[in-house]
Chains A and B, each alone.
Chain A
Amino acid sequence: MRTYLRMCKATSALTHGILLLYSVIVAYPMIWLLLASLKSSRDLFENPWGIPVNPQFVNFANAWTKAGIGRYFLNSVFVTAVSMFFILLIGSMAAYALAKLVFPGRGLIHASFTSGMMFPVFLGIVPLFLLLRRLGMWDNYLGLITAYVAYSLSFTIFVLTGFFRQLPSELAEAGLIDGCSEYSVFLRIMLPLAKPGLIAAGIFNFFGIWNEYPLALVIIASENLRTLPLGIANLLMVQHYETDWGALFAGLVMVMLPTLVVYLIFQRHITEGLTAGALKG
């Protein structure tokens, strides 16, 4: 422990230097984006790296009306939250069974889930569209969320199976001996222990679904059901015809800021989860 600490101290200056440098590389373009969102396009092209000459708050108004950010943001929050709940619930149940229960066909099922990660998303889009239409699940959230859950299960199960496998089986057996059912062992013992895994899978899925475009495009048609990526894509296209970089960047900032807030709140949970994971050893 002491050597470990000393190592940190000895190289502290250098590491801090590198960390700072990389922070700048990451943060600078985002600050640039913020500044650019306050410029007129002409200002942007004539003075791309400076402070806005004459801040154009109207960009934000334009983006708000064109991209429908407010509504789409709430839609995205709803879709992402509900999808993640079901993905993590259904995924962790399946992963637990695949990691800890013995039954015939386990290897095959596991392989079929994990190989699903390798499919390019576009591949099944048209058949999926036709299926959802037949089931009356097209152009509503039932269809979109179902698709998100189905598409995310592969990766979620892949990640969570790894985590459940690492948990000691003795705990589950002890629970069973104490008279718990398999279900309460899962809910009360195993699931809390797998929290770091759930968080890891949660991060994957959050970013995946929050930014998902092709499925939302095909499944959602109504204006009032659209999610944020559809709004951004529209902004980008409008920019192609009307050349209004300011509105585009303002829109992107409006999408980014709340996401950042969500992320910063979320980040605390990541930390807690990580600490829990670290303590359990």
Chain B
Amino acid sequence: MAVICIFALSGCAKKKPSAVNSDKIEIEVAVFQGGYGLDFFEKAAREYEKLHPNVKIKVWGNPRIWEQLRTRFVAGDVPDLCWPGWGMDSWALVYDGKVMEMDKYLNQKAYDQNLKWKDTFLPDLLEKGKYRGHYYILPFNNNVFGWWYNVNLFEKHGWKPPKTYEELLKLCEQIKKTGIAPITYQGKYPAYMIRGFLIPWAISAGGLEAFEAAQKLEPGAWKSPAFLKAARMMAELRDKGYFQKGAMGMDHTGAQMEFVLGRAAMIPCGTWLRSEMQKQIPPGFRMAYFNPPVLANGKGDPSITQASAETWIVPKEAKHPDIGADFFRFMTSLKMAKRFVQEKQTLMSIKGSDRVKLPPDLVLPARYLRSAKATWDAEFSDWYKAMNKEIEAAVAALLAGEISPEECCERMERAAEETRNDPSIPKH
């Protein structure tokens, strides 16, 4: 019966398009379809439509959505809300005035808490989207990035996840003796090695300020003693043969396969590891997260943890930016955030959203994140793409044994200097 009514209604609607225009506003939400699919956002849209009967939300997405969004941004024909995905240079959109300034929306009340919307976010993650004093890019779900170890393997041999670099060296020697590769990495994408080795160790050697200085492009920061120490640590692991042979030639799924198949004992990766490898994880396989082992006498606080967010934007030329922003406010309500955490097994950048029964793989990352004195993210990789590429190449060259730690740092510093001296690159 209901179906017939709906048909009847839509039949009427078709006859009188003017009536539709006046009471139904259609908005378009474009979603990057990565490991999380579209279903959550579609369900959220249906719920929002129930609360706001005058709104109709069209959700669409695909795994390479940025390729289509880019041309649409140029043409000025944009969705009302989008998650453009990692392939989109969102900051370029901000610089070119294509992204809505979110300050006025953030000062509204949160959907289901007696707080300003902006106070419901984890502050570190929200601040990342700020440029020249205004908010543009908003965080949604977030990832903690560190190291993972094979629990069964470790238990079988009585190994413990190393807390310090010194322990790591001893452990690697033991693992190597069993014929298993101690550490593997996603060599085709050096971002994993930068986030998993270089920066955590630079922070450990020189404190968070050493990394902040590098991100701010301060002269000499990329070849500071802290970064040199980090590069030397990577070279040491390389020279002692603790990295899996040939890891440089593997992409992320290839290296992660080696890890879940037990051919490598440890791997750097974000909290998305489980969802990415879900179909391939052998029955009984257990893995657990730990923060990258730090120097025993390091300057940086050992609790410092790496967290980054998946980001959403409201395009400035959107036809209904207010509704787009409001739908996002709805999706970041505590209720929806908790639901996303449970359904999609990822953490969210909304305070308190981890107070649910977390999937086992997320318990430790959430604990690290809560007890972290500070968090960091490789934001320079989004701000300064050319410099980032050079740093990736330098790190790849270092791990491939082509250059020394000193040369690696020189090269990173040169790249930073070029970006610093280029007035056409907006600075953060």
Contact = CB atoms under 8 A, between A and B. Distances in A.
Is there a direct interface between A and B, measured as CB atoms under 8 Å apart in the complex? yes
A129 B63 CA distance: 21
Contacts of B71: 126, 129, 218
A245 to B, nearest CB: 8
A46 B276 contact: no
A237 interface: yes
B interface: dominant SS: helix
A238 interface: yes
Interface residues of A, number: 22
A119 interface: no
Nearest to B67: A217
A244 interface: yes
B261 A46 contact: yes
A126 B74 contact: yes
Nearest to B278: A242
A146 interface: no
A243 B276 contact: yes
Given A221-B68, A243-B280, A234 B62 contact: yes
A238 B62 CA distance: 9
B261 A243 contact: no
Interface string B73-89: 01101000000000000
Interface in A227-242: 233-234, 237-242
A245 B253 CA distance: 10
Contact of A243 (B34, B62, B74, B279): B279
**Interface residues of B toward A: which range?**
20 to 34
Given A41-B257, A42-B261, A241 B35 contact: yes
Interface string B241-282: 000000000001100110001000000000000011111101
A266 interface: no
A133 interface: yes
Given A217-B68, A243-B253, A41 B75 contact: no
A130 B74 contact: yes
A37 to B, nearest CB: 15
Contacts of B256: 243
Contacts of A240: 63, 252-253
B257 A243 contact: yes
B46 interface: no
Contacts of A238: 63
Interface in A41-83: 41-42, 45-46
A233 B75 CA distance: 24
A218 B62 CA distance: 14
Contact of A237 (B63, B261, B277): B63
A42 B281 CA distance: 8
Contacts of A42: 261, 280, 282
B64 interface: yes
17 contacts: A42-B261, A129-B74, A129-B75, A133-B75, A217-B64, A217-B67, A217-B68, A234-B62, A234-B63, A238-B63, A240-B253, A241-B34, A243-B256, A243-B276, A243-B279, A243-B280, A245-B253
Interface of A: 41-42, 45-46, 126, 129-130, 133, 217-218, 221, 233-234, 237-245
Given A45-B261, A217-B68, A241-B275, 10 more contacts: A42-B282, A129-B75, A221-B68, A234-B63, A241-B34, A242-B279, A243-B277, A243-B279, A243-B280, A244-B279
